[in-house]
Structure 1
Amino acid sequence: MHETKSLPGKSKYMIKIVVPILITQVALYLMTFFDILMTSKYSIDHLAGVSIGSSIWVPVYTGLTGILIGITPIVAQLIGAKKKEDVRTFVQQGFYIAILLAFIVFIGILFLIDPVLNLIPLEDSVRLVAKKYLYMMSIGLIPLFLYSVLRSLIDALGRTRVSMVITLLSAPINIALNYVFIYGKFGFPALGGAGAGLGSAITYWIILFIAIFVVYKNKPFAELKIFNFWSKLSFAKMGSLTKIGIPIGLSIFAETTIFSAVTILMSVYSTEVISAHQIAMNFTSLLYMVPLSIAMGATILVGHEVGAKRYKDARTYSWLSVGTAIFFSFISSSILLIFREPIASIYTDDQYVITLTVQFFLFAALFQLSDAIQAPVQGALRGYKDVTVTFIMAIISYWIIGLPTGYILANFTSFERFGYWIGLIVGLTVGAITLVIRLVHLQKKIIKNDAAA
C-alpha cells in the first residue's frame, strides 16, 4: 500500500484510487441505465414494467452484494497489516457465501414474485413485463454475486484500474445485447422489457469469466493463489465476513429500498407519472455514482491506514473524501438545474412526461449535498469496520423519518407525488448529520486510545 505524508500527496493518491472506481460504477450502472433508456424507446408500458421490476431487483441485489463488500475492509486491513497469506481463505469463503445468496434470491424470485407484484396496483401489461424482466435478470444471479467477490478483492488491493477495465467492457456488450433482444434483431424475437433483462444477465456471465481470467493470470492477484488449495467451509471465517458484511448489506438495502418503496407507492399515479419519476431517479442515480465511488475509495484508503495503525492518516482520508464529494455535489446540482429539460428529452418524446420529469429534477437537485456527505462518511466508517451503528442510523433516517414524511406530504398535502421526494430529502439529510457525528466520535476515540497505548 502506498503511504503518503502530505495532503497534496493524499489527494493525488485518492484520485488515483477513486477515478477508476467511478468509471467502473458508471459502467455497471449503465447496464440499468440502458435497460431503462432503450426500453423507453420500445414502449411506455414496457418502460413502466422495467421500472417496477428494477425497483424490486436493485435493492435485493445491492443489499445482498453489500454483504460481500465486507471482503473489502477485511482484505484492505490484512494487506495494510502485511498478512497476505490470509487473503485467499477469506475470498474463497466469500465465493461460498455468494453462491448461497444467489440460490436464495433465485428461489425468492421464483415463488414470491407473483404475490409481490399482485400487491402493487398496476396495469396487467405492466405487471407482466416486470415479471418477465425479473425472470430474465435471475439468469445472471450467480455471476453477479461471484464477480462482486472478485471485484472486492481487486479493489481492496488498490488495483481499481483493473476493475475499471473489466467493467468498461460490459457497457458496449450490454448495449449490443439489449439492441438484439429488446427490438428483435438478427432473427431473434422482440422481447421488449424482458429482452433488457436477458441482455444484462448474459453480460454478467461475460464479466465474470473475464475477471476470473485476470485474477488467475495476472500479478499481484496470481500471487495470492485465490483459485488454488480450496479451503473447506469455515463457519468462523464466514462469520467474520458476515459480521462485517451483513450490516453493510442491510444498510445498503435500507437505503436502496427507500427509493424502490417510493416508486412502488407512486404506482397509484398514472403510467406517465411513474415513467417521469423513474427517468428522474435513473439520471439522479447516475450522478450518485460520484459520491458512491468516493465512498468506496474511502473504505479502501481508510482500511489500509487502520490496518497499518496510521490512524491520523485514516482521519485525513475520511474528511478529504467528504470534502471532495461536497465539491462535486454543487456540479451535480447545477447540471440538474440547468440542463433538466434536455436531459428529460433524451429519454422520451412524450411532452407531458418531459414536463413531469423536469419538475422531479428540481427536487433531485436538492438532495445532492446530503448524498455527498452521507455516502463518503459511510465509506470511511466501513474502513474502520464500524458498520452496525451505521445500519441502525440508516433504518431510522430512511424508514422511520424519511418515508413516513414523504407519505404524509404526498397523501395529506398539496405536494402530492412530489411529497415523496421531499421525504427522501429529509431522510438523507438526517442520515448525513447523524453519520458525521458518529465518524467524529469514533475517530476521537481511536486516536485517544492509540495515544494512551
Structure 2
Amino acid sequence: MHITRTRKEKTLLFLQIMLPVLVTQLGLFSMTFADTVMSGNYSSNDLAGVAIGSSIWVPINTGLSGILIAITPIVSQLVGARKIKDVPYSVIQGSYLSIIMAIIVLFIGFFTLNPILNNMSLEPHVREVAHDYLVALSWGIVPLFFYSVLRSFIDALGQTRISMLITLTALPINVLFNYFLIFGKFGFPELGGVGSGVASAITYWLILFISIVVIMKIHPFKEYNIFKKWIAFSFKECISILKIGIPIGLAIFFESSIFAAVTLLMSSFDTITIAAHQTAMNFASFLYMVPLSISMALTIVVGFEVGGKRFNDAREYSRIGTVFAVGMALVFGIVLYFFRAEIASIYTKDVEVISLASHFLIFALFFQLSDAIMAPIQGALRGYKDVNVTFILSFSSFWVIGLPTGYVFANYTSMGAFGYWVGLIVGLAIGAISLASRLLYIQKRKFVIKTM
C-alpha cells in the first residue's frame, strides 16, 4: 500500500488490489464447484450427500470467517497510521482467536451433527456421505480459520496478488486430491464424495503452511516479524477483534443465509421451478464475485486512508469502487438480458427449465444493480470500522423486509415463485439505500473531525 495523490493513481491502485481479490474469490468458488461436479461424476447419492454437507457447512464457515475478516480493517488502519510495531500483536491475537473458534465449532459439531442429519428425511447412503464428508472436512477447520487471519493480514498490506497466487496453487492441489480420493486412483482409497472432504482438509493444511512460509520469508511480510517472538494471549485484544468481527460475520451470515432460506421455501414448488431457480441463483452468485471483490478491496484502501487520517482520499476510493461496480453491473445486465437462454443452457438441456430459468435471470439483472451499490458500500464502511449499524441495516433489509415481502408476493399474488425474487430485490434495494445514507453520514462526520 502507498499514498496516492490523483484520481488516476487511486484508480490504478484500486484495480491492482481488486483484480487479484476477484481471481482469488473465483478460485475459491471453483473449489466448491469442483467438489460438487467430481462427486456427481462418482454417483448421484454421493453428490446429494456432499450437497447436504456443504449446505450445512458453508453458512457456518462464511459467517465465522467473516468474524476473522476484522483483521483486515484493523491492520490496514494500523499501517495507514504507521503503527507498524502494533501489527504483529493484532495478527497473533487474531490467530489465537481463530484456533479457539475452530475448537468451539468442533465441540458443538460433535454433539449436534447427528441430530441435525437425523431430522432430515435422507436416504441412508446420502446421510452417511453427508456425515462422513463433514467429519473429514472437520480436520481442516483449524488451518482454514488460521489461514483466514493470515490472508486478511496479507490483503491488508495491499498484497492481494500473493493471496491470489496461494489460492491458484491450492486449486489444482484440491482437484488432484479429489481425483485420487473420490475415485481411488494411484493407490489411494476410493472414498466417493467423502474423498472431497478429505481433499479439502489436506488443501487447507497446505495453504496454511504456504502462507506461513510466505509471511516469514518474503518481503514485505517478513519485516513485520509475525512469528519471530512469542506473544502471550490477550483476552482484551480478542474482545476488541470480536467487537468488530462479530457484526461483520453476522451481516455476511444473514446475507448469505437469506438465499438458502428462499431455496427452502421454494421447495413447495415443482421440480422444474426449483431447478430453474437454482440455475439462475447459481449464476447470480457467480456474478456476485465482482461486487464482493470490490467490497473487499475497498475495506483495504479505505482502512489505509482512514488510519492515516486522509479522509478525503478514503471518500474518493469509495466513489471509485461504487462507480466501477455499477458500471460492471450494467455490462452484466446487458449480457443477462440478451443471452439469458444461452446462460441457462450451460446448466441443463431441459427445455422447460431453460425457459423458466431465463425468466428468473431477468430478475437477476436487478440483483446486479442493487449489489453493485450495496456490496462496495459495506466494504467501505468496514474500512471505517463502522460495523454495528451496518449489520442492523443489512439484517433489517433482508430478514425484516425482504423475506416477508417475498413470502407475501409468492403466496398471496399470482407471481408464484417469482415473488420470492421480488422480495430479495426489494431487500437489496432498501439495503443499498440505507447503507448509502449511512456511508454519507460517516464520511461527513469524519471530514468534520479532519478539519477541527
Q: TM-score range by the shorter chain?
A: over 0.9
CA shift for structure 1 position 195: 3.0
Aligned pair 1:436/2:436, yes or no?
Answer: yes
Instruction: Give me the TM-score of the superposition, normalised by structure 2.
Output: 0.93
Task: Look up the match of 2:7.
Answer: 7
Q: After the TM superposition, which segments of 4 or more aligned residues of structure 1 sit over 6 Å from their partners?
A: none
Distance (Å, rounded) in 1 between the aligned partners of 2:217 and 2:398: 43
Aligned pair 1:171/2:158, yes or no?
Answer: no
SS state at 2:104 partner: helix
Aligned pair 1:142/2:139, yes or no?
Answer: no
Deviations 1:62-106 (A, max 9, x none): 111111111111111110111111111111111111111112222
Tell me if the contact between 1:312 and 1:447 (Cα under 8 Å) persists in the aligned partners: yes
The two structures, once aligned, show a CA RMSD in angstroms of: 2.3
Aligned pair 1:253/2:217, yes or no?
Answer: no
Deviations 1:378-409 (A, max 9, x none): 00001111000000011101111112222233
Task: Look up the match of 1:159.
Answer: 159
Task: Look up the match of 2:287.
Answer: 287
Task: Look up the match of 2:333.
Answer: 333
Tell me if the contact between 1:140 and 1:205 (Cα under 8 Å) persists in the aligned partners: yes
Matched AA of 1:302:
V
Tell me if the contact between 1:51 and 1:278 (Cα under 8 Å) persists in the aligned partners: no
CA shift for structure 1 position 438: 0.3
Question: Does the C-alpha gap of structure 1 residues 356 and 111 become closer, same or farther in structure 2, counting only changes over 3 Å?
Answer: farther
Aligned pair 1:71/2:40, yes or no?
Answer: no
Distance (Å, rounded) in 1 between the aligned partners of 2:242 and 2:73: 12
Task: Look up the match of 1:375.
Answer: 375
Task: Look up the match of 2:306.
Answer: 306
Question: Does the C-alpha gap of structure 1 residues 446 and 207 become closer, same or farther in structure 2, counting only changes over 3 Å?
Answer: same
Distance (Å, rounded) in 1 between the aligned partners of 2:99 and 2:210: 18
Distance (Å, rounded) in 2 between the aligned partners of 1:122 and 1:430: 38
SS state at 1:5 partner: coil
Instruction: Give me the TM-score of the superposition, normalised by structure 1.
Output: 0.92
Question: Does the C-alpha gap of structure 1 residues 137 and 330 become closer, same or farther in structure 2, counting only changes over 3 Å?
Answer: farther
CA shift for structure 1 position 356: 4.7
Tell me if the contact between 1:28 and 1:170 (Cα under 8 Å) persists in the aligned partners: no
Aligned pairs, how many? 452
Deviations 1:177-217 (A, max 9, x none): 22333344335455443333332222222211111111111
Distance (Å, rounded) in 1 between the aligned partners of 2:383 and 2:84: 18
Task: Look up the match of 1:204.
Answer: 204
CA shift for structure 1 position 220: 1.2
Structure 1 runs not aligned, ≥5 long: none
Distance (Å, rounded) in 2 between the aligned partners of 1:182 and 1:420: 37
Matched AA of 1:134:
L
Structure 2 runs not aligned, ≥5 long: none
Distance (Å, rounded) in 2 between the aligned partners of 1:413 and 1:52: 31
Distance (Å, rounded) in 2 between the aligned partners of 1:8 and 1:267: 49
Task: Look up the match of 1:317.
Answer: 317
Distance (Å, rounded) in 2 between the aligned partners of 1:297 and 1:28: 17
Task: Look up the match of 2:244.
Answer: 244
Aligned ranges for residues 102-117 of structure 1 at < 5 Å?
A: 102-117=102-117
Deviations 1:6-28 (A, max 9, x none): 11111111111111111111111
Task: Look up the match of 2:386.
Answer: 386
Task: Look up the match of 2:263.
Answer: 263
Identity of aligned residues (%): 56
Q: Relative to structure 2, which stretch is displaced further, 215-224 or 262-271?
A: 262-271
Matched AA of 2:293:
S
